Structure 1
């Protein structure tokens, strides 16, 4: 599948962040719900005085209430429009966008770049406090309160069998025609000097509810309600387990998206679009979706 930019257009990369609490997720929705995509596309149309709305493609389609510090998107703009507005676009967007979403950088993307399919990993952080007094009021929109003392070592031990390429059907909300096979590259917990526990979760891509389900399973281990081998047993079963709790979205932040060197972008696009399966598994799906 070709990802060539149409003649007369230029692909523009946007690096952005947002506080997700007042958004109904990333993707534009019918019915007037406020979304990050809708907010930015409307602002782009307004500040460039365009009659047309130019659609954004994003690295990670975050759910309602999920935050982003290092989100990446791209948009294809007419060459004349880009030439006219490129030097003033960042400041004009800042003046138009709501206080809870910011574009930090706009740049002409290298050949072959696709914000979604060029990405080789996405890194999320989930933040939890087990302080008996609850969450610092200044952090309440970004940290989950867990009302049990958590054992970081136990959670890290339980995370080990989840690393690598697996079918994460047990931790994902299935979507028609989409694969749940992912490569989990990093999953670890640490207790920060502030006392907050931070999970770092990095994978080539994520299926729906995957991060929040993994965190929920590991919290059950950390507070002693489940043994350390339970998350791995759930994974091996390959089906959704009603005991796996999908934690609330406000503790989750997309921190960073990784891309290969410019000369490898086109090859990565093709690789990411390919359907994949595990050895001996004929079931495949075509979605390289996220979150």
Structure 2
């Protein structure tokens, strides 16, 4: 049966998974006690396709990180209706994962390499008492935060820079240069949101940026400190990595010619 390429949007709660990337070879089951999001999605699509199906994602997320709009591509039977892929895959996925939409794309479309930007949101509950509701989607900071100071400090990161100060030692990227296109820190009641968009991200880059903005928000560091960290390129003097629970991948952004829904189009 002829195959064609599809793009699919996936929404997931990453709390019960060991991250996106499958830890075993394609076609092998996930390791016991270490389920992956990629493994679950490939198993579901393989059931619908009636054949082993491999997916490629726009951006791999770590254990405990969530996504409202992960985009993947896969090659499946050309006679399948996109709605059938969405409903069929979701019926086979665990409750923490669902498919949101599926569209046919050109054979050269690549979920990772065709993307021109990626966007994340990190949410912090800023109050004296830890959260009970929505706790799996919130980080917690009991000390008062000055969100305006954090926002002003964060603007020093805009543009194409070497983000060595904000990458994990385990990062496998060949270089640390990234283009940070947008960053904002806003408050709504007790919630402080940090939204970031870049052409690509380093391993733990968003969580390390947040971890360095928190001392600024608490008044322990001046606003100029963030720019100094960027220029110094020394991870050991930057803030700690913020917890994974507050991080949501809002999705990639693609050129209009890719023909994807507006919510992932530049």
The answer to whether the superposition gives a TM-score over 0.5 is yes
Give structure 1 stretches of 5+ with no counterpart: 1-6, 266-291
Tell me how far apart the structure 2 counterparts of residues 10 and 106 of structure 1 sit (CA, whole Å).
12
Tell me how far apart the structure 1 counterparts of residues 88 and 99 of structure 2 sit (CA, whole Å).
10
Contact 1:111-1:262 at 8 Å conserved across structures: no
Tell me how far apart the structure 1 counterparts of residues 118 and 58 of structure 2 sit (CA, whole Å).
8
Moved over 4 A (4+): 84-87
Show the counterpart of 1:15: 9
1:67 lines up with 2:62 in the alignment: no
1:220 lines up with 2:215 in the alignment: yes
Shift of 1:88: 2.3
TM-score using structure 1 length: 0.82
Residues 92-151 of structure 1: CA deviation (Å, up to 9, x unaligned): 21211000000111110135321101111111000001111222x221000111021000
Contact 1:128-1:144 at 8 Å conserved across structures: yes
Contact 2:83-2:101 at 8 Å conserved across structures: no
- One of 158, 167, 175 as aligned partner of 1:172: 167
1:119 lines up with 2:115 in the alignment: yes
CA shift in 2, pair 1:84/1:230, >3 Å: closer
Q: How does 1:125-136 map to 2 (within 5 A)?
A: 125-135=121-131
- What is the DSSP-based 3-state SS (H/G/I as helix, E as strand, rest coil) of the residue aligned with 2:221? coil
- What is the DSSP-based 3-state SS (H/G/I as helix, E as strand, rest coil) of the residue aligned with 1:132? coil
Shift of 1:256: 2.6
Is the deviation greater in 29-38 or in 100-109?
29-38
Contact 2:187-2:193 at 8 Å conserved across structures: yes
CA shift in 2, pair 1:176/1:17, >3 Å: closer
Over aligned residues, Cα RMSD in angstroms?
2.0
- What is the DSSP-based 3-state SS (H/G/I as helix, E as strand, rest coil) of the residue aligned with 2:235? coil
Contact 1:68-1:253 at 8 Å conserved across structures: yes
Give structure 2 stretches of 5+ with no counterpart: 25-30, 261-266
Show the counterpart of 1:235: 230
Contact 2:12-2:68 at 8 Å conserved across structures: yes
Residues 204-250 of structure 1: CA deviation (Å, up to 9, x unaligned): 11010000000010011000111111111111111212442100001
Count matched residues: 252
TM-score using structure 2 length: 0.89
- What is the DSSP-based 3-state SS (H/G/I as helix, E as strand, rest coil) of the residue aligned with 1:245? coil
Contact 1:186-1:201 at 8 Å conserved across structures: yes
Show the counterpart of 1:106: 102
- One of 68, 89, 92 as aligned partner of 1:93: 89
1:28 lines up with 2:27 in the alignment: no
Show the counterpart of 2:48: 47
